[in-house]
Amino acid sequence: MTMLSKPERLKSILQNLRISLPELRGAMVATTDGLPIAQAFSDNTDANRVAAMAATALGLGKRINDTLGTGSLNEMSVSGMDGQVFIYSVGAKGVLAVVAPAGTNLGLLHMEARDAAQAVASVL
């Protein structure tokens, strides 16, 4: 049996997330420093740019939680007219970003993405 490399395992987690939620526009794993590790986008999205923004959003979310005393950050979202971006903290060194169109079943999305975030954290 062949062992998958860390990037291959992360890519597999993202692909499984996309299979569970085919309407997703994409998903990616990045470092908290803003470097892309694995991605699964349905278009030619600039992974470097998304990774940098996801890491920045995660950092800002952590600062907001610290300032307001709401505990450690688990997840956050940014909503637009045509969809939402969900940012999940994955361990101390990673971030999972999931891009969903408007009208996505958010209960199912959170269930699947939280499971994916735990799987990513176990790999990182």
CA distance linking residue 15 with residue 64, whole number of Å: 31
pLDDT in tens, 86-114: 999 998 889 999 999 999 999 999 999 99
Plot region of 103 (φ>0 → left; ψ -120 to 50 → alpha; else → beta): left
Tokens of 19: 């299979």
pLDDT in tens, 54-78: 999 999 999 999 999 998 889 999 9
| 77: amino acid identity, one letter | S
pLDDT band for 83, please (50, 70, 90 cuts). very high
Give CA separation, 96 vs 3, 68, 75, 106, in Å. 23, 23, 9, 16
CA distance linking residue 122 with residue 9, whole number of Å: 10
CA distance linking residue 90 with residue 32, whole number of Å: 9
Q: What is the pLDDT of residue 20?
A: 94
Specify whether the CB–CB gap between 116 and 28 falls below 8 A.
Answer: no
Q: What is the pLDDT of residue 1?
A: 53
pLDDT in tens, 16-57: 999 999 999 999 999 999 999 999 988 888 999 999 999 999
Q: In what order do the strands lie in the sheet with 75-80?
A: 36-41, 26-31, 94-101, 83-90, 75-80
pTM, two decimals, is 0.90
Neighbour count for residue 81 (Cβ, 10 Å): 5
In terms of pLDDT, which residue wins out, 14 or 3?
14
Q: Could you give all domains of the chain from N- to C-terminal order, each with its CATH number?
A: 11-123 (3.30.450.30)
What share of the chain has pLDDT > 70, as a percent?
98
Q: What is the pLDDT of residue 7?
A: 86
